[in-house]
Amino acid sequence: MKIHLKKKSTKWTGLDFRHEDLDLASDFVTRLSSCYRYILENNEEDLVSLDKELNFLDSFIFMMDVRHKISLKISTK
Protein backbone atom coordinates (compact mmCIF):
# COMPACT_ATOMS: atom_id res chain seq x y z
CA MET A 1 0.00 0.00 0.00
CA LYS A 2 1.32 3.44 -0.93
CA ILE A 3 0.16 6.70 0.61
CA HIS A 4 1.14 10.00 -0.95
CA LEU A 5 0.22 13.41 0.46
CA LYS A 6 0.64 16.39 -1.84
CA LYS A 7 0.38 18.88 1.01
CA LYS A 8 1.09 18.51 4.69
CA SER A 9 -1.98 18.49 6.89
CA THR A 10 -2.42 17.53 10.54
CA LYS A 11 -5.94 18.84 11.12
CA TRP A 12 -9.24 17.07 10.44
CA THR A 13 -10.57 19.64 8.01
CA GLY A 14 -12.33 19.71 4.68
CA LEU A 15 -15.41 17.80 5.82
CA ASP A 16 -18.04 20.36 4.98
CA PHE A 17 -20.96 18.35 3.61
CA ARG A 18 -23.51 20.49 1.82
CA HIS A 19 -27.17 19.67 1.31
CA GLU A 20 -26.45 18.17 -2.11
CA ASP A 21 -23.92 15.74 -0.58
CA LEU A 22 -26.36 13.93 1.73
CA ASP A 23 -25.59 10.53 0.20
CA LEU A 24 -21.86 11.12 0.58
CA ALA A 25 -22.32 12.32 4.17
CA SER A 26 -24.43 9.27 4.99
CA ASP A 27 -21.84 6.93 3.48
CA PHE A 28 -19.04 8.73 5.34
CA VAL A 29 -20.80 8.40 8.71
CA THR A 30 -21.56 4.73 8.06
CA ARG A 31 -17.92 4.02 7.27
CA LEU A 32 -16.68 6.08 10.22
CA SER A 33 -18.98 4.02 12.44
CA SER A 34 -17.61 0.84 10.89
CA CYS A 35 -14.03 1.93 11.64
CA TYR A 36 -14.82 2.75 15.27
CA ARG A 37 -16.67 -0.55 15.66
CA TYR A 38 -13.67 -2.43 14.24
CA ILE A 39 -11.29 -0.68 16.65
CA LEU A 40 -13.50 -1.24 19.69
CA GLU A 41 -14.22 -4.89 18.92
CA ASN A 42 -10.65 -5.86 18.01
CA ASN A 43 -8.41 -3.70 20.19
CA GLU A 44 -7.44 -6.59 22.47
CA GLU A 45 -7.23 -9.28 19.80
CA ASP A 46 -3.86 -10.71 18.77
CA LEU A 47 -5.21 -11.85 15.41
CA VAL A 48 -7.94 -10.39 13.23
CA SER A 49 -9.30 -12.01 10.09
CA LEU A 50 -8.12 -10.70 6.76
CA ASP A 51 -11.72 -9.98 5.79
CA LYS A 52 -12.13 -7.64 8.79
CA GLU A 53 -8.82 -5.95 8.05
CA LEU A 54 -9.74 -5.36 4.40
CA ASN A 55 -13.17 -3.99 5.32
CA PHE A 56 -11.52 -1.58 7.76
CA LEU A 57 -8.96 -0.55 5.14
CA ASP A 58 -11.69 0.03 2.55
CA SER A 59 -13.60 2.32 4.94
CA PHE A 60 -10.44 4.15 5.98
CA ILE A 61 -9.36 4.77 2.38
CA PHE A 62 -12.84 6.05 1.50
CA MET A 63 -12.76 8.54 4.40
CA MET A 64 -9.26 9.75 3.49
CA ASP A 65 -10.33 10.19 -0.14
CA VAL A 66 -13.30 12.31 0.97
CA ARG A 67 -11.19 14.32 3.39
CA HIS A 68 -8.18 15.01 1.19
CA LYS A 69 -9.86 14.86 -2.23
CA ILE A 70 -7.10 15.22 -4.85
CA SER A 71 -4.24 15.86 -2.42
CA LEU A 72 -4.06 12.18 -1.39
CA LYS A 73 -3.55 9.12 -3.53
CA ILE A 74 -3.71 5.65 -1.97
CA SER A 75 -2.90 2.56 -3.98
CA THR A 76 -3.45 -0.97 -2.69
CA LYS A 77 -1.72 -2.75 -5.57
**Residue 38 carries which side chain, given as an amino acid letter?**
Y
Could you list the residue range(s) of the whole structural domain that residue 25 is in? 19-75
Whether 59 maps to a domain, the answer reads yes
Domain tally for the chain? Answer: 1
Banded pLDDT at 66 (limits 50, 70, 90): confident
Whether 13 and 72 have beta carbons less than 8 Å apart is answered as no
Whether 46 maps to a domain, the answer reads yes
Whether 6 maps to a domain, the answer reads no
pLDDT attached to residue 74: 77
List, for residues 4-62, the tens digit of each pLDDT value.
Answer: 545 545 454 456 666 667 888 889 999 999 999 999 999 999 999 999 999 999 999 99
Whether 4 maps to a domain, the answer reads no
Is the model's pTM score more than 0.75? Answer: no
pLDDT attached to residue 50: 94
Q: Provide the 8-state DSSP code for 43.
A: T
pLDDT attached to residue 41: 94
